[in-house]
Amino acid sequence: MEEFRRAEARDMDEIMRVVHEAQAFMRTLEIDQWQDGYPEPEILLADIAIGQLYVFAEDERVHAVAALSLEPEPVYGEIEDAWQGKGPYLTIHRMATDDAARGRGLAARMLGQAERIAAEHGCGAVRVDTHTGNAAMRRFLEKHGFVYRGIVHYYVKKGDPVRVAYEKLM
């Protein structure tokens, strides 16, 4: 039976499998996002420790993962005037599905769960960013009501630091 739940440290092998499959998939699309080893296990374990990493799992097999953060994202200040949502917001980070889940709607369901959590916490919006070259993710976000708001820059070990930011008002 499939369930949406907070990730636990015992899920790390499965979470890393999902991350590695997502990295390989992006490589086939010639997207250099996540090709520098990000997200490292330490980042994901920190997400687990503060209760912001979630999974869709069937039995012990994880098929989708995402960090759903209620903390402000510092780089989003670069485009402050472009955001339409006022007050607190939820940010989606490190979202990935495994190869078996691709096309099953789990990513859309993860967005739905993010929106539910945002609503429960009085957030005015859900925000997310992705690599400029990740056309599939950009189309996916727009299909699900997210609106392009601007460009942000992250520190990355290698590759393009530019990300496009999206927002969906609640």
The CATH homologous superfamily of the domain defined by 2-169: Gcn5-related N-acetyltransferase (GNAT) (3.40.630.30)
Per-position DSSP letters for 44-112, written without gaps between them? HHHHHHTT-EEEEEETTEEEEEEEEE-S--GGGGGGGGG----S-EEEEEEEEE-TTTTTTTHHHHHHH
pLDDT in tens, 85-137: 989 999 999 999 999 888 889 999 999 999 999 999 999 999 999 999 899 89
Model pTM score: 0.93
Q: How confident is the model at residue 143 (pLDDT cuts 50, 70, 90)?
A: very high
Q: Is 129 exposed, middle or buried (0-12, 13-18, 19+ CB in 10 A)?
A: buried
Average of pLDDT values for 11-29?
A: 94
Instruction: For the chain, give the percent of residues with pLDDT over 70.
Output: 99
What the block records as the tokens of 19 is 């991350």
Pairing of strands 89-97, 125-131: parallel
Contact between 93 and 86 (Cβ < 8 Å): no
Note the pLDDT of residue 155.
Answer: 78
Question: Between the CA of residue 10 and those of 29, 55, 60, 65, 106, what are the distances in Å?
Answer: 31, 12, 9, 14, 21
Q: Is 163 exposed, middle or buried (0-12, 13-18, 19+ CB in 10 A)?
A: buried
